[in-house]
């Protein structure tokens, strides 16, 4: 037998087995089995390639290296136990925040859900369907007094266990349209909710998270807050009524409708399955070493790549094809 018989084979076998065991153990409680199977399959394929294409020495060497990397990755991806950890979610009246509140409640978290209207239909559903671990609280994130009040309530309730995570989910889309067409109140509303509100919540709850060594998760999405046809018609009417005659003449009524309605059609066809997002949020909450950025959904990362690495003309071309918005303002035709 050669020196690489069983002595050399023992190390990669131990490393490979340990890597697969650690990965399965750390992921099985919260991650789906296809992830584990895919990871295992990749290691097996890499091993098969090494032993079919390389010498025995280099095959064992590279396979051992792959096992070491896999072991290091799986260890860093270990998931912490739920153990009733406390989480605050903003914007729980509807959409992602509403569904995420139910999801985390079912997993055993202690959930605080901030809602815009604590007596609204969304809040009432959460009160009826969730366990006693979930508390629905009035918190308009554009209202500093309500934020301070909720912070004091949560601090009192979690003084022994601590607040582990805050999910900044509350957001508004506003109105989709050319910048010149939109009144300033729409800009202000978007900034108040999507930026200043999130900053206000972050600053208010940082002391609690610093104490527990917890984390913030900021959610950004336009696909679940697109609104209804009736809402868009009202917004279109408001824009037309507040538009100056010169701007209306330059753009034309036909352009306004043809440039905004395709977006509504697109949003209305978005899937209602939030499971990819839930997987990422849960990973961000419980993973020992969470990622800095998660892109839930099949094409989410594509948009980031188009915006970051391609010329503007490429992004405009793709966006026009998706939204079918090839109409030009009246002044440019």
Examine the pLDDT at 175 and tell me if it is beyond 80: no
Predicted local distance difference test score (pLDDT) of residue 33: 44
CA pair distance 98, 123, nearest whole angstrom: 8
Spatial contact of 154 and 175, defined as CB atoms under 8 Å apart? no
Q: Classify 285 as helix, strand or coil.
A: helix
Predicted local distance difference test score (pLDDT) of residue 227: 64
Q: Of the ranges 46-55, 137-146, 157-166, 277-286, which one carries the lowest mean pLDDT score?
A: 46-55
Examine the pLDDT at 170 and tell me if it is beyond 60: yes
Residue whose C-alpha is closest to residue 11's, from 49, 68, 95: 68
Domain definitions of the chain by residue range? 6-76, 80-224, 226-269+298-333
| 219-250 confidence digits (pLDDT tens) | 987 668 666 667 777 777 777 788 888 888 88
Cα–Cα–Cα angle for 209, 193, 210, rounded to 5 degrees: 10
Topology of domain 80-224, CATH: Rossmann fold (3.40.50)
Examine the pLDDT at 29 and tell me if it is beyond 50: no
Taken in order 240, 242, 246, 250, the sign of the CA dihedral is negative
* Mean pLDDT for all residues in the chain: 80
Examine the pLDDT at 316 and tell me if it is beyond 90: no
Examine the pLDDT at 30 and tell me if it is beyond 80: no
Examine the pLDDT at 63 and tell me if it is beyond 90: no
pTM to 2 decimal places: 0.76
């Amino acid at each position: 037998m050669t020196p690489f018989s069983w002595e050399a084979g023992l190390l990669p076998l131990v490393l490979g087995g340990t890597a697969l065991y650690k990965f399965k153990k750390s992921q099985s409680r919260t991650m789906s089995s296809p992830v584990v199977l895919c990871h295992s399959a990749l290691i097996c394929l890499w091993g098969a390639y090494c032993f079919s294409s390389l010498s025995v020495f280099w095959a064992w060497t590279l396979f051992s290296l792959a096992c070491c990397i896999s072991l290091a990755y799986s260890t860093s991806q270990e998931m912490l136990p739920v153990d009733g950890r406390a989480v605050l979610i903003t914007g729980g009246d509807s959409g992602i925040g509403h569904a995420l509140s139910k999801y985390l409640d079912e997993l055993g978290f202690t959930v605080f859900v901030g809602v815009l209207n604590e007596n609204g239909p969304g809040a009432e559903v959460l009160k009826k369907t969730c366990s006693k671990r979930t508390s629905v609280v009035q918190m308009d994130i554009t209202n500093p007094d309500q934020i301070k009040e909720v912070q004091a309530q949560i601090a009192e309730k979690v003084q022994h266990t601590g607040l582990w995570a805050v999910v900044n989910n509350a957001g508004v889309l506003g109105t989709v349209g050319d910048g010149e067409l939109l009144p300033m109140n729409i800009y202000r509303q978007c900034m108040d909710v999507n930026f200043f509100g999130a900053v206000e919540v972050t600053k208010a709850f940082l002391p609690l998270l610093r104490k527990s060594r917890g984390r913030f998760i900021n959610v950004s999405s336009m696909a679940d807050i697109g609104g209804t046809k009736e809402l868009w018609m009202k917004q279109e009417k408001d824009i037309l009524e507040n538009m100056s005659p010169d701007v209306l003449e330059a753009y034309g009524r036909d352009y306004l409708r043809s440039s905004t309605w395709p977006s509504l059609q697109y949003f209305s066809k978005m899937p209602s399955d939030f499971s990819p997002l839930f997987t990422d949020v849960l990973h961000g909450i419980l993973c020992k070493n969470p990622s800095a950025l998660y892109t839930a959904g099949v094409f989410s990362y594509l948009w980031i790549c188009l915006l970051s690495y391609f010329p503007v003309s490429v992004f405009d071309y793709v966006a026009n094809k998706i939204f079918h918005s090839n109409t030009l303002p009246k002044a440019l035709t």
